[in-house]
Structure 1
Amino acid sequence: MESPKFNQNALIELAHYKMPFGKYKDEYLIDIPEYYYTWFKQKGFPDGKLGRMMTQMHEIKINGLEELIYTIRRNFSQ
């Protein structure tokens, strides 16, 4: 079982993570449109950390939880 501190840090990192390549390079993951994540879901998310974060962001967006990430980004520095 993961500790709450780890989950908090993972969300803070997700809120501050920027896309490292492509059309949305240097954009926060939360600011990338949902359709981009849907396309990746169909084609396959990248391996590793970025792929896990993009998968999480896709779930956040399809469930309408973007404000949670914006609040975390405003209130917690990385």
Structure 2
Amino acid sequence: MEQDPQFLIDVAKAKMPYGKYKGVSLIDLPENYVVWYHSKGFPKGKLGSMLGLVYELKLNGLEGIIRKIKNDY
């Protein structure tokens, strides 16, 4: 899956907008929370797409990609 570089930057900067983890960077959400959200169904729109990418990255141990972008911006 090819990603738009701006989308990766957006994911690196994004924070959870509501709930128990409101204000936490998406990449810093606990893995079990992201897995729970995956089983429940991600929200529609950009947030859902970003959470889906975070899920895939965490699943494959690739969070470092977003963490590096986060530190660079």
Superimposed CA distance per residue, residues 42-75 of structure 1 (whole angstroms, 9 cap, x where no aligned partner): 1111111111110110000010011111110111
List alignment gaps of at least 5 residues for structure 2. none
Superimposed CA distance per residue, residues 21-60 of structure 1 (whole angstroms, 9 cap, x where no aligned partner): 0010001001101111111111111111111110110000
Deviation, structure 1 residue 7: 1.3
Superposed CA RMSD: 1.4
List alignment gaps of at least 5 residues for structure 1. none
1:42 matched to 2:39? The reply is yes
Match of 1:10 in 2: 7
Same amino acid, percent of matched pairs: 49
Alignment length, in residue pairs? 72
Match of 1:56 in 2: 53
Aligned with residue 30 of structure 2, among 30, 33, 37:
33
| Aligned AA (1:36) | Y
Q: What TM-score results when the alignment is normalised by the length of structure 1? A: 0.85
1:19 matched to 2:16? The reply is yes
